[in-house]
Amino acid sequence: MGFLCKWCSYAGADLAGTSRLTYPPNISIIRVPCTSRINSHVIIKALATGLDGVLVSGCHPGSCHYVNGNYKARRRLLVLRRLIEFMGVDPRRLQMSWVSASEGFKWASVVRRATEEIRQLGPNRLFLEGET
């Protein structure tokens, strides 16, 4: 699952599409106004309920449309990765990237890399049938 900020990364992903770049189809994208809008609980829920990976992508530091949203998101994810690791979820399942609106190529390569890393971790099955 991808959370992409609308001003930079989503536009970058769009560019990748119009440029007919290929990248793995495993990612489902959700557009958010800014990466700082993402409620960390949603990420926790996604990873704990069986989603194999989450990718958060936003504007480069200094380029955030809302000035500093991406800095706040960076700090949040820094802490969140440590928390999920402590609870038994591989932190490599939570990935972050800076992709600007003009970086179609970068977007494709980010997704390729994230997908490959997460694929190697195997399916994220934390809970069995009777535990949910």
Interface ranges with another protein (CB under 8 A): 39-42, 44-45, 48-49, 61, 68, 71-72, 74-91, 95-98, 110, 113-114, 126-127, 131-132
Whichever of 17 and 79 has its CB closer to another protein, that residue is: 79
Torsion angle of the four alpha carbons 55, 9, 71, 50, in this order, in degrees rounded to the nearest 10:
-20
Residue 76 Cβ, how far from another protein at the closest point, in Å?
Answer: 6
Residue 22 Cβ, how far from another protein at the closest point, in Å?
Answer: 18
Whichever of 17 and 61 has its CB closer to another protein, that residue is: 61
Residue 7 Cβ, how far from another protein at the closest point, in Å?
Answer: 17
The DSSP code sequence of 29-49 is EEEES-GGG--HHHHHHHHHT
| Alpha carbon distance 5, 81 (integer Å) | 20
Residue 114 Cβ, how far from another protein at the closest point, in Å?
Answer: 7
| Alpha carbon distance 13, 10 (integer Å) | 5
Burial 17-40 (b: 16+ CB within 10 A, else e): eeeebebeeebeeeebebbbebee
Whichever of 11 and 64 has its CB closer to another protein, that residue is: 64
Whichever of 65 and 113 has its CB closer to another protein, that residue is: 113
